[in-house]
Amino acid sequence: MWRASVLTIFPELFPGPLGASLAGRALGQKIWSCEAIDIRDFAADKHRSVDDTPAGGGPGMVMRADVLARAIDAAAPASDLRSRILLTPRGKPLLQSRVRELAAGPGVVLVSGRFEGVDERVVEMRGLEEISIGDYVLSGGEIAALVLIDACVRLLPGVMGKEASHAEESFEAGLLEYPHYTKPQEFEGRPIPEVLNSGHHGKVAAWRREQAEKATRERRPDLWGKRKDDPPKKA
């Protein structure tokens, strides 16, 4: 079973939306598990404080290293081989390649930050991998943790069903996916592209590839430039 443990001051947020649909069914089937650990349970004072004022001054509060370290050690002793990850806008952007690696492993231990962030020493001393889900600032790491877990869980064997292929999805070949169409044949005067009704598999595949390349070139020049399998042609 693939295991996700999330350290948070809002354990009631888990599994949240991951209790529904495919991920929820897989949770019920014990393909994966979701454990939310309340960081406040590891506080040392009667107020269950997890944060304090920033050293050097400045606004906001910072999560204490000692409290967080106790929570991490309880969730994942040294023998636990799962990746330990801190969700933070300072981290490396989460990519599908890392999602694939994490989904292929035993699971994840995720630290959800709050306030201004967490004391740097716990990041260093517990070897936390810092991951960001995008260049914007959320108010807490919980939604980022749900995003990371969702991306992994849908890749676990048995979650998406046999008919679903990951191979053609966005990012798998360094490209965004081609556009999709279904019935009705005509919607507000716009027909489905003719080639998709041709029944010619080769032509459909070529059209989809062309559309995937066009979307990637136009929307994500960063991805287009990085493609290894088929480097962009000079204009």
141 binds ligand SAM (CB under 6 A): yes
Query: Least distance to ligand SAM from the beta carbon of 170, Å?
Result: 19
Q: Which helix (H) or strand (E) holds 66?
A: helix 65-75
Q: Decide whether 24 or 91 has the Cβ nearer to ligand SAM.
A: 91
**Residue from 17, 19, 134, 232 binding ligand SAM (CB under 6 A):** 134
Please enumerate in sequence order all residues whose Cβ is within 8 A of that of 120, keeping only pairs 6 or more positions apart, or say none.
Answer: none
Of the candidates 17, 20, 74, 90, which one interacts with ligand SAM according to CB under 6 A? 90
Look up residue 142 and give its amino acid.
Answer: E
C-alpha distances out from residue 177 to 27, 101, 206, 210, Å: 28, 21, 13, 10
- The window from 5-13, 31-39, 108-116, 178-186 that contacts ligand SAM (CB under 6 A) reads 108-116
Of the candidate spans 37-45, 137-145, 161-169, 173-181, the one that interacts with ligand SAM by CB under 6 A turns out to be: 137-145
Closest CA to 155 of 226, 100, 204: 100
114 binds ligand SAM (CB under 6 A): yes
Tell me the site size for ligand SAM, rule CB under 6 A. 19
d(CA 180, CA 160): 19
Residue nearest to ligand SAM (CB): 113
d(CA 102, CA 59): 35
Contacts of 170 (CB under 8 A, 6+ apart): 96, 176, 177
Contact residues toward ligand SAM (CB under 6 A) are 87-90, 112-114, 116-117, 132-134, 136-141, 144
